Amino acid sequence: MLVANARMYSPAAGAAKAWRDFFAWLARAADVPLDLVEHAPPAPLAELWARRDLGACFMCGWPLAKRLAKVRPLAAPVMSDPHAQGRAVYWTDFVVRFNSDFAKLDDLFGHRIAFTVKTSHSGYNAPRHHLLRFLDGGSRQLFREVVGPAVTPRGAALAVLEGRADVAPLDAYAHALLRRYDPNVALGLRVIDRSAFAPMPPLVASIGVDPQLLMRLTDALIGAAVDHEARSILARLELKSFAPADPASYDETLAFEREAMEKSYREIA
């Protein structure tokens, strides 16, 4: 029995239920038994990715590019959001309180920024890279305080809503699911800026899994958009489809990191 997990994209109970339904469909469509496992925060995601029985588990593209786990990408989701342009990409939304006076990102300098974890692309690597454009020749200190780790996108959102931070980076797909399933949180937020695109985090499987099983899982994921039952679940997940995931494409996240290192901006500050 292989295991499935969508903790990265289960920011609310409704999203978690939709993923349970999707994995049940995937197991039937691929004829691969999948056992949905819990790995609730604050348990490190790295512990989940280290399992040898992963059948379908979301993994951040940055640690994937660093080869921090022995996994193989199956396919990556394509968001329904028009900003994704029908591609398997995502970005980071910088969010503030809806009723705040901040008009643009550099209005936040001298204030407080939250982050999720320092190993997250959307919650740390992408926002750090985005902030490079605001650095002058000498100063590397943009914010008065850096708040975290908030661990999850929802935790980062709550840091802003509860007044512990003034701005926070949110994974754009997690943000879409919050808007659908936790409007009490999402309606209190306003997007003030967006990072550059990066390849969407894929569903991965352990590298030691039978290649025939991996092929069946991938084929089922790619075919989900033309299956009536799966298409209705994808709509509940704010997704259009799944697309092939090229492992090399995630090296783009390493370029984000490399540029920050070259400009001596190792940590958000």
The answer, yes or no, to whether residue 117 has pLDDT greater than 90, is: yes
- Same structural domain, 236 and 191: no
**Rounded Cα gap, residues 170 and 51, in angstroms:** 27
- Same structural domain, 95 and 188: yes
User: What are the distances in angstroms from CA 100 to CA 159, 163, 170, 190?
Assistant: 14, 11, 17, 9
- Same structural domain, 38 and 104: no
- Same structural domain, 103 and 188: yes
Report yes or no on 48 lying in a domain.
yes
Q: What residues have CB less than 8 Å from 24, skipping those under 6 apart?
A: 34
Report yes or no on 126 lying in a domain.
yes
- Same structural domain, 205 and 186: no
- Same structural domain, 161 and 192: yes
- Same structural domain, 101 and 169: yes
Asked if 252 and 245 touch (Cβ cutoff 8 Å), the reply is no
Q: Would you mind telling me the total number of residues written for the chain in this entry?
A: 269
Q: How confident is the model at residue 140 (pLDDT cuts 50, 70, 90)?
A: confident
- Same structural domain, 208 and 193: no
Q: Which domain holds residue 172?
A: 89-198+255-262
Q: What is this structure's pTM?
A: 0.97
Judging by DSSP bridges, how do beta strands 34-36 and 2-5 pair with one another? parallel
Report yes or no on 267 lying in a domain.
no
Phi, psi of 243 (to 5 degrees): -125, 155
Indicate left, alpha or beta for 86 from its phi (over 0: left) and psi (-120 to 50: alpha).
left
- Same structural domain, 194 and 243: no
Report yes or no on 30 lying in a domain.
yes
How many structural domains does the chain have? 2
The predicted structure's pLDDT at residue 136: 80
State the CATH number of the domain containing residue 140: 3.40.190.10
**Rounded Cα gap, residues 167 and 192, in angstroms:** 9
The answer, yes or no, to whether residue 187 has pLDDT greater than 80, is: yes
Asked if 53 and 1 touch (Cβ cutoff 8 Å), the reply is yes
Report yes or no on 269 lying in a domain.
no
Asked if 19 and 70 touch (Cβ cutoff 8 Å), the reply is no
pLDDT tens figures, 17-37: 999 999 999 999 999 999 999
The predicted structure's pLDDT at residue 139: 75
For residues 112-125, give the mean pLDDT.
Answer: 98
Report yes or no on 268 lying in a domain.
no
- Same structural domain, 74 and 102: no
- Same structural domain, 167 and 223: no
The predicted structure's pLDDT at residue 269: 97
- Same structural domain, 187 and 208: no
pLDDT tens figures, 58-69: 999 999 999 999
